[in-house]
Amino acid sequence: MEHHLPVLLIITPLVAAPLCVLVRQRLAVFGLSLTVCWATFAMAIMLLVRVLDSGEITYQLGGWSAPWGIEYRIDTLSAFVMLFVSGIGAIVLTFAPHSIAREIREDQHYLFFAEYLLCLTGLLGIAITGDLFNLFVFLEISSLSAYALISLGAREGVQQTRRALIAAFHYLVMGTIGATFILIGIGLLYMMTGTLNMADMAERLRAEVQINRKLMDVNETRTVLVAFAFLSVGISLKMALFPLHMWLPNAYTYAPSVVTAFLAATATKVSVYVLLRLIFTIVGASFAFEKLPLDTELMVLSLIGIVVASTTAIFQTNIKRMLAYSSVAQIGYIALGISFASLDGLTGAIVHLFNHALIKGGLFLAMGCLVLRLGSAELDDLRGIGRRMPWTMFAWVVGGLGLIGVPVTAGFISKWYLISAALERGWWPVALLVLLSSLLALVYVWRVVEAAYFQDSPEQHAEVTEAPAAMLIPTYVLIGATVFFGLWTSLSAGVAQQAAQLLLEVTP
Amino acid sequence: MNPETTIKLALALPLATAATTVFLGERQRNLRESFTLFGAVALFLVIAMLAPAVTSGARPAATLLEMIPGLAIAFEVEPLGMLFAMVASGLWIVTTCYSIGYMRAHHENHQTRFFVCFAVAIFAAVGAAMAANMFTLFVFYEVLTLSTYPLVTHHGTEAARKGGRTYLGILLFTSVAFLLLAVVWTWTIAGTLDFRPGGILAGKADNTVLCALLGLYVFGTGKAALMPFHRWLPAAMVAPTPVSALLHAVAVVKVGVFTVMKVAVYIFGIDLLRTTGISVWLMYVAGATILLASLVALTKDNLKARLAYSTISQLSYIVLGAMLANSWGVIGGSMHIAMHAVGKITLFFCAGAIYVTAHKTEISDMRGIGRTMPLTTFAFLLGSLSVIGLPPFGGSWSKWYLALGAAEAYQWPLVAVLMISSLLNIAYLIPIVVRGFFFAPVDGPEKPKIKEAPMLCVVPLCVTAVGGLALFFFAGRIYELLTPIAQLSGN
């Protein structure tokens, strides 16, 4: 049993998803998905504990040994990613019932649960697999179900109406382009190495090959360079790295709040994981950063992205959209951390995956509470809400402080690592830019605070009351976690550092 | 009780007070306020228990948790922190009494929130005072900024929103953009952030870097209100008066100058500052702030605004003391933390008492106020004399040592600045008292009835007024407490 844990982690939600469609009955479906999500979370915890105890775990699917069969390979990084993806998945689903009752048509609720579980399967699968093609399959599972989940926001009567469909379609087009690029990249790599197993591929890329009577390393061939270009662009699209983020704001704005919370906290993060795998496990850091200028490229794009997206966020009137732009900026921080290619930088990037997942997840759950009561996420409707929904707004403010990165919140820990990584290299302008950009976050967070606490509520919201405890508790679990992991960092920063060490040691 | 427990208790007490306040809420306000008062007294006693050990040379320490591998939230009580913690917690007791009187007489809303945030702010101030490394100090510095924001914007009006915006904007901007950068930079250069006697930066970087770093520290500590980052302090005056009194004359601003002092003594080390001369330009920035702020204070008709600018000016005395980088400067500056606190809190208490009783905020309306509120006006006089620094008031000692320090550093222009500033202090404080006692009231009869503020307001302000007098005679104790830091500078 224990031995089969890796595969159980994936199979359980995968099997539960079609069951949801078969059962259809709302309460039963909810019960089933909730159990599955928490069970998945429990398994992810067990896996992380095992990995931390005894190092990397491999699992041969169906007993077919690698590189022929599909192999699941769990190191610290993947266990860590699975931990927070499944954790957020479980908490957000616990939050869901009231929220989807308002935002999703009743006859589509079973679809929501099925797609949610599929999406979770896909995201976990990406993190667990050691096989590049298998990774692509999981990426598509998660993406396709994400498109469908977003389109569920198209409920008549609720403000957003049909725009969710357009947003989902836009995401579908962009996402598919990204996926195609990734597939082309994988195909080219397969052509050059004849394997799809990542570890095996990494070895073979460093082998020698004779081309036109010239002896050269496989990873010096033009094919591999092209493959890498396709892969990195495709992944950047999926992770919404500036300027490939255009799909994200609409998708986050018009999706149901629960879906936004889940996707914002997990989907882009898992894509970052794929990028880390590509750079550090498959092609090697020296290839990406020394032979190719990926570090410079990531740094420039992420810095521009941080500033532009944070500035754009300031001018948004819809708070979900504002948070979406903030997500683009936060992806910039993560990419910036990767671009330093140092232990501190990489630790900062990995820990920010985790911290930002908690912060954004918590913030979007608070948004879910607000949308439940107000039917809108417009800044104008939020006026005076601090007095009507004090608990929700307090959670929002704490989450907002996390975004700014004030001490005692998780956001501060990430910022600390990023800044010390920048200063370690002597790049103080970069450090200053990171610090100044957190002040942009202060501006957009404080617009909401001032509206909520210093203005009078519009008349149509005079009767608004606090959100139900069933929603507040999950929100506070995530928000509480941002404070907890701002104080106690052995799990977050400690594990992230270990993961970063492993990634950096792998590279020659 | 061993010192470690004492330190933890000192941190837990204000938090426990905050928690009980939340729990008791508006309905049981007598009980709620008794608990606050109890918490304040207990905190002072607990901190006082550490004093003998610190005076005799011990350094009680405690480590709470490791926030980032290698960087712990840790505490160590040394003389400077001891002094500051005593001042902050001692004045918390007085202010609590005053707040109860003020808030009730004024029928303020959200009193529970007020007392909770107040307790959290004191927690942050005490934490900062006892910090064992720059990281801990920074964390508490930021907690203090955030916990005082709801206090500044307490009234929830448009003016409060604007004031709060300036307050938070400047304090967070400076601390995030400059101070945090300086802290991380120090961490990468020195590999540690511990406060060590003699500093941690000597020989770690060249003078240009050190000079830039010092600038980042001093300007990054926005709470020290060095020009041009002083605008937040007048903006914070929209807060209820007890907040202005304790936080914007004692806790918040003093955490600022305390940080500067700690950085000078324990991060750079006084010797390093003196031998390299990297702090000279900052002496002149501080000197300019002293004069300019005093001049601005002269033009203000709103009493709290005038006091705020006076505070800005007085804070720069302490910054100047730190930047002078000799034992007299350090002793004078550190002593001024206590002396100015007691004097300025008296003045703010008086301003609040006048506001609660006579509903007057503008100085020009306060003619003849001495006839209706003789006790308050007299206390205002005592407080003014202490701030000006005339014997027999505490403020005279700190200014004396600062002048000695400036002379020892051969900065004669700065000695002149100190003298001129004292004259300016007289010019903007004494007329208020003179008009109060000797001018006819603006309206009403020539000899009106005496109508003082509520008991709970008057007693505290008398206590602090007399405190300013008493400190003149107890300055020796403070001097003794501070000598170990001054000796670090080798002369």
Which is higher by pLDDT, A78 or A66? A78
Q: Is the confidence at residue B479, as pLDDT, over 70?
A: yes
- Indicate the residue of A401, A439, A454 with minimum beta-carbon distance to B176: A439
- Report d(CA B342, CA A223) in Å as an integer: 76
Q: Which residues of A150-179 are buried (b: 16+ CB within 10 A; e: fewer)?
A: bbbbbbeebebeeebbebbebbbebbebbb
What are the structural domain ranges in chain B?
A: 3-487
Least confident of A114-128, B12-26, B183-197: B12-26
pLDDT of res. B444:
67
The stretch B69-74 carries a mean pLDDT of: 83
Q: What is the pLDDT of residue A229?
A: 92
Alpha carbon distance B452, B357 (integer Å): 7
Q: Residue A1 pLDDT more than 80?
A: no
pLDDT the model gives residue A37: 93
Residues of A in contact with B65 (CB under 8 A): 487-488
Kindly tell me if the per-residue pLDDT of B179 is higher than 50: yes
Q: What is the pLDDT of residue A258?
A: 92
Residues B268-289 pLDDT 10s: 888 888 888 888 888 899 999 9
Give how far A392 is from chain B: nearest CA, Å: 17
Residue contact B68–A428, C-beta within 8 A: no
- A431/B181 touch (CB, cutoff 8 Å), yes or no: yes
Alpha helices (runs of H) in A211-340, residue ranges in sequence order = 222-238, 247-254, 257-276, 285, 294-314, 319-340
Query: What pLDDT shows up at residue A325?
Result: 93
Whole-number Å distance between alpha carbons of A239 and B332: 57
Hey, are the CB atoms on A419 and B184 less than 8 Å from each other?
Answer: yes
What number is the average pLDDT over the span A350-359?
Answer: 93
Q: Where are the beta strands (DSSP E) in A18-110?
A: 57-60, 71-74
Minimum distance, in Å, between the CA of residue B22 and any CA atom of chain A: 14
Task: Tell me which residue in A423, A446, A487 faces B185 most closely, judged by beta carbons.
Answer: A423
Strand-pairing partners, residue A59, are A72
Chain B residues inside the 8 Å CB shell of A488: 65, 67
- Find chain B residues with C-beta within 8 A of A419's C-beta: 180-181, 184
DSSP state of A313: H
Q: How far apart are alpha carbons A493 and B40 in whole angstroms?
A: 37
Residue B427, both tokens: 């010019």
Tell me if the bond preceding A390 is cis, omega within 30° of 0: no
CA distance A409 to chain B (A): 10
Residue range A258-275: average pLDDT? 92
**Ramachandran assignment for B28, one of left (phi > 0), alpha (psi -120 to 50 degrees), beta (any other):** beta
How far A272 CA lies from chain B's nearest CA (Å)?
23
**Binning pLDDT at 50, 70 and 90, where does residue A508 land?**
very low
**Total number of residues shown for chain A:** 508
**Which DSSP category does B163 fall into?**
H
CA distances from B94 to A171, B98, B199, B235 (A): 62, 6, 36, 24
pLDDT confidence of residue B102: 79
Determine the distance from the C-alpha atom of residue B114 to the mean position of all C-alpha atoms in its chain, rounded to a whole number: 19
pLDDT for B314 beyond 70: yes
pLDDT in tens, A211-226: 777 777 777 888 889 9
Average the pLDDT over B152-179 and give the result: 87
Mean pLDDT across chain B: 85
Give the separation between CA A35 and CA A39, rounded to whole angstroms: 6
Which token pair is A152? 């569920």
Contact criterion met (CB < 8 Å) for B188 and A420: yes
Residue A427 has pLDDT above 70, yes or no: yes
Q: Name every chain B residue with its beta carbon within 8 A of the beta carbon of A435.
A: 176-177, 180-181
User: What local confidence, expressed as pLDDT, does residue A212 receive?
Assistant: 75
Mean pLDDT, rounded, of chain A: 88
Report the residue of chain A nearest B176, measured CA to CA. Answer: A435
B-contacting residues of A 372-401, CB under 8 Å?
401
Q: What is the mean pLDDT of residues A88-106?
A: 89
pLDDT band at A491 (very low <50, low <70, confident <90, very high): confident
For residue B76, give the H/E element and its range. Answer: strand B71-76
Residue A460, pLDDT score: 78
Residue A309 confidence (pLDDT): 93
Distance from C-alpha of A436 to C-alpha of B25, rounded to nearest angstrom: 39
The size of chain B, in residues, is 491
| Closest to B464 in 3D by CA, of B351, B369, B383 | B383
Residue A88: pLDDT band (50, 70, 90) is very high
Q: Centre a 10 Å sphere on the Cβ of residue B348 and count the other Cβ atoms it contains.
A: 30
Rounded Cα distance, A403 and B482, in Å: 41
Predicted local distance difference test score (pLDDT) of residue A331? 93
CA–chain centroid gap for B282, Å, is: 20
Is there a contact between A7 and A74 (Cβ–Cβ < 8 Å)?
Answer: no
HSE (side-chain half, CA atoms, 13 Å) at B292: 13
pLDDT of residue B490: 46
Do B187 and A407 count as a contact with CB atoms less than 8 A apart? no
Q: Would the pLDDT of A312 be above 50? A: yes
Characterize the bridge pairing of strands A71-74 and A208-211.
unpaired
Among the partner residues B143, B177, B187, nearest to A408 by beta-carbon distance: B143
More confident residue, A106 or A260: A260
Radius of gyration of chain A (CA): 22
Q: What is the pLDDT of residues A174-213, one digit of tens each?
A: 999 999 999 999 999 998 888 888 888 888 888 877 777 7
pLDDT at A358 over 90: yes
Count the Cβ atoms, other than its own, within 10 Å of residue B217: 26
Cβ-proximal residues to B208 (8 Å cutoff; 6+ apart), any chain: none
Closest residue, chain A, to B142 (C-alpha): A407
Residue B376 CB neighbour total at 10 angstroms = 28
Residues of A in contact with B184 (CB under 8 A): 416, 419-420, 423, 431
Residue A431 is encoded by which pair of tokens?
A: 């450090």
Instruction: Report ipTM (2 d.p.).
Output: 0.86
Q: Which amino acid is at B56?
A: S
- In this prediction, residue A365 has a pLDDT band, given cuts at 50, 70 and 90, of very high
A432: nearest CA partner in chain B:
B177
| Separation CA A444–CA A451 (nearest Å) | 11
Cβ <8 Å between B67 and A413: yes
Choose, out of B149, B155, B172, B188, the residue to mutate when testing the contact with A (most A CBs < 10 Å): B188
Alpha-carbon distance of A389 to A397, in angstroms, equals 12
Chain A residues with CB under 8 Å of B181 CB are 419, 428, 431-432, 435
Q: Does pLDDT of B489 surpass 60?
A: no
For the cut 90, the answer to whether the pLDDT of residue A351 exceeds it is: yes
CA distances, B219 to each of A53, A233, B194 (Å): 47, 43, 21
Of all residues in chain A, the one with the smallest CA distance to B138 is A407
Among A235-239, B148-152, B361-365, top mean pLDDT goes to A235-239
Inter-chain residue contact A487 with B67, CB threshold 8 Å: yes
Amino acid type, A366: A
Closest alpha carbon to B315 in B392, B227, B381, B240:
B227
